[in-house]
Structure 1
Amino acid sequence: MIEIARLRHDPAVLRQAFGCFPSGVTAICASIDGTPVGLAASSFTSVSVDPPLVSVCIQGSSRTWPMLRDRPRLGLSVLAEGHDSACRSLSSRHGDRFAGVDWDATPDDAVYVRGSTLWMDCSVDGEIPAGDHLIVLFRIHGLRAQPETAPLVFHGSRFRTLAASEPATSS
């Protein structure tokens, strides 16, 4: 029999539990007056094919999200293996978040992290308050996928690498 411990309000215990689920890491970015502005988020999920929607959970206390939410276009980059330092930089609360991060901007001011496994041209479709976070729905207007590029994986409070499994053999 499995015993489940009663949940007590302990953020550290919840963070440890949430860390048991591996996730990719995204960067949500735009250029504002010629300066790149962005944040990193690991709670990215596909939502709908018709209409094309994805979601990301963003801390309600974010000081960056209010600068991005009303932009007509946002670049959503799914970071790739080797983007560890870019993720740390984009997650920083102080200094230039784009220091050492290679990026490109589009004419409509969406910003993308170079070398990512996926880039999506998005706009905000809606926000849903959810505890201490916002669930932000993004409508996808365009994309470029690089499926051969391995994603950055965050698990157990650290970055990990995916390992390819051997192809199944028929008996």
Structure 2
Amino acid sequence: MRTTDQTPSSADTSTDTSAPAPAGTSASASAASADEVVGIVAAIRRISRRRLRGTVPGPMLRGTQLELLRLVETEPGIGVAAAARALHLAGNSVSTLVNQLVERDLLHRETDPNDRRAARLRLTEQATTRLLDWRRARSQLITVALDRLPPADREAVAAALPAFRRLITELEVTP
């Protein structure tokens, strides 16, 4: 049985995950907290992908491919240039991702009726099903893990979610 002070992966070397550094702490404490947040998020994503590998049919998708599919899901008809801006990627990189996903029958690329040079992106039925299956499997995996935590830890995770949403907003607007 895991104790609450163990890290999620043997590759992680952090020792105290109890609370973020309070406001007004030194820059080095903030940097350490930032490194720990990034490490924890990366570990959760890596472990989730590894544990779910093979549970969702179809070839493995890279992180950027999944990000593009999620973006197209939330913004059907988005153009390649707008997707590149939203993902903070070069246009040619997104074009390559689009080509890969079209070849796998996960994206439809349609000509923009207002600008014949531009393309509009939409998910295929296969992509929609795959994203739904992935979310269900991931949700079940995380729910089971959360349920094994002590109630105080579950409450702490839930209480931290609004702060993580604000952090995402700050990261999106920070130059």
User: Which TM bucket (shorter chain)?
Assistant: under 0.3
- Larger Cα-atom Rg: 2
* Alignment TM-score, normalising by the size of structure 1: 0.28
Higher strand share: 1
* Alignment TM-score, normalising by the size of structure 2: 0.27
Higher helix share: 2
